[in-house]
Amino acid sequence: MEEGFKELISRYQGSHSLPRQFYTSETLYKMDIEHYWNHSWIWVGHIDQISNVGDFFLFDYGYESVIVARDKDKCINAFLNVCRHRGSRVCIEKSGNTRVFACPYHAWTYELNGNLRAAREMGDGFDKAKHSLKKVNLRIFHGLIFICISDDPPNIDEGLLQLEELVAPFEFENLKIVHKENYPVAANWKLALENYMECYHCAPAHLEYSRSHSLKDPSSANIKLKNCMLKKSIEVGLSGVELQINGLGSKEVDMDFYFSRYPLFQGYQTGSKSGEKLAPLLGKLKDFDGGTTDIQIGILNNFLSYSDHLIGYRFIPSSLQSTDIEVIWMVRQDAEEGLDYNLEDLTWLWHCTSQDDERIIGLNQKGVNSDYYVPGPLSNMEWGIKAFHAGYLKQLDKKINTNS
């Protein structure tokens, strides 16, 4: 079966949308999880979620479940939520605080660092040290937690190093999550991600977003508007406005990284209905510069940083044509609800935008399911989709060739 997809990949036109099978084949969906998701770095949360010893949360995607926990030495660990006895899920709560993890099936018990603590009736030759929960690769970047299941993860460190100076002024490590919302969509995860990777649809589909964000029409973000923001950005303490690294398996970087600050329309300080600020300034920023930043740490991990809050976007596959769009809102850790920010105002824009996305992505999948769907040409504003396709197909082809 994989040979058929190898031929499909070789015939793909880089300037068009993907063939129908990429969104409708159960076999290809399983390959997506095994060959792409399991070999990618995935943003799973923030250190504020596990600030105390014993705090933990789960992150699930596809067929996988990962436990992220803070152990007795105050270190953060990640391991697969799969018992080393007969494979049961060990942790069934989505988050909480615990002293140990105990499998609900046969009571094998694990420490907070994943080490096996107790297993009944296993005989004299049983070695507990060889039956710890499988550790998962983990990186923490300014408080953002990333994991990768693969034994051979892509190189994330070089890209993070190059992002360091650009991200530092925002002090993401001093944020807290104040709201999470899930927008389930009846579509393949690639359609959900592709929607986020382009703003060709923003003007016709996102009326609220388009009032404030110049990205909806590149020609509207004229040189004067950009230069005005750039001057102000430097004044308020931002050290740079743009970085793009296309890894695609190069020697230095194995992932795509993207950082671009662009102007909001005049009269808007942040992504709010009124244009007025929503929360206290992030990090070391001295004032609002009238801009916002798109940040990508690998194709799967997308962030939007205003001067006063951070939005995190995830597109999590749960089945072939079922995806959870997760939106996470973060503000300064010392900000108080009702005093420093109003949650309804803070979440208004991206709640409206995500509801729009639910509708248009679902319609997209219904059309792609048609026997008469034919891949169409991508516009100049859909360059992000082209970059995603290039990396995705390269990874898929690489794994298929390795397995053949």
- The verdict on 252 and 329 lying in the same domain is yes
- The verdict on 350 and 219 lying in the same domain is yes
- The verdict on 204 and 72 lying in the same domain is no
Residue 376 lies in a domain: yes
- The verdict on 118 and 159 lying in the same domain is no
Residue 399 lies in a domain: no
Task: Identify the three-state secondary structure at position 374.
Answer: coil
What would the two tokens of residue 318 be? Answer: 């749960």
The reported pLDDT for the residue numbered 12 is 83
Q: How many CB atoms lie within 10 A of CB 332?
A: 21
CB 175 within 8 A of CB 46: yes
- The verdict on 158 and 299 lying in the same domain is yes
Position 339, amino acid: L
Residue 43 lies in a domain: no
Residue 34 lies in a domain: no
CB 84 within 8 A of CB 127: no
The residues, ordered by sequence, that sit 6+ positions from 83 with a Cβ below 8 Å of its Cβ are 89, 90, 103, 105, 106, 108, 133
Total domains in the fold of the chain: 2
- The verdict on 127 and 200 lying in the same domain is no
Q: Which domain holds residue 183?
A: 154-388
Looking at per-residue pLDDT, the higher value among 94 and 220 belongs to 94
* CATH number of the domain enclosing 161: 3.90.380.10
- The verdict on 225 and 113 lying in the same domain is no
Residue 208 lies in a domain: yes
The reported pLDDT for the residue numbered 5 is 76
Burial 153-189 (b: 16+ CB within 10 A, else e): bbbbebbbeebeebbbbbbbbbbbebbeeebebebbb
Residue 163 lies in a domain: yes
For residue 128, give Cα distances in angstroms to 125, 132, 218: 10, 7, 59
- Quickly state the pLDDT bin for 215 (edges 50, 70, 90): confident
Residue 6 lies in a domain: no
Separation CA 264–CA 292 (nearest Å):
7
Find, among 43, 105, 87, 85, the residue nearest to 68 by Cα: 43
Token pair 């072939």 is found at 320
Separation CA 404–CA 395 (nearest Å):
14
Find, among 257, 41, 295, the residue nearest to 154 by Cα: 41
Position 219, amino acid: S
- The verdict on 203 and 284 lying in the same domain is yes
Residue 13 lies in a domain: no
- The verdict on 210 and 321 lying in the same domain is yes
Rounded mean pLDDT of the chain?
A: 93
Residue 1 has pLDDT above 60, yes or no: no
The reported pLDDT for the residue numbered 90 is 98
Q: What are 33-68's pLDDT values in tens digits?
A: 999 999 999 999 999 999 999 999 999 999 999 999
Find, among 154, 153, 112, the residue nearest to 132 by Cα: 112
Looking at per-residue pLDDT, the higher value among 250 and 337 belongs to 337
* CATH number of the domain enclosing 103: 2.102.10.10
Task: Identify the three-state secondary structure at position 256.
Answer: coil
> Given 107, 135, 163, which residue is the final one in a domain?
135
- Quickly state the pLDDT bin for 247 (edges 50, 70, 90): low
- The verdict on 85 and 231 lying in the same domain is no
Position 83, amino acid: C
Separation CA 386–CA 116 (nearest Å):
45
- The verdict on 353 and 283 lying in the same domain is yes
- The verdict on 97 and 229 lying in the same domain is no
Q: What are 62-114's pLDDT values in tens digits?
A: 999 999 999 999 999 999 999 999 999 999 999 999 999 999 999 999 999 99
Looking at per-residue pLDDT, the higher value among 250 and 331 belongs to 331
The reported pLDDT for the residue numbered 228 is 86
The residues, ordered by sequence, that sit 6+ positions from 320 with a Cβ below 8 Å of its Cβ are 24, 25, 26, 29, 188
The reported pLDDT for the residue numbered 3 is 58
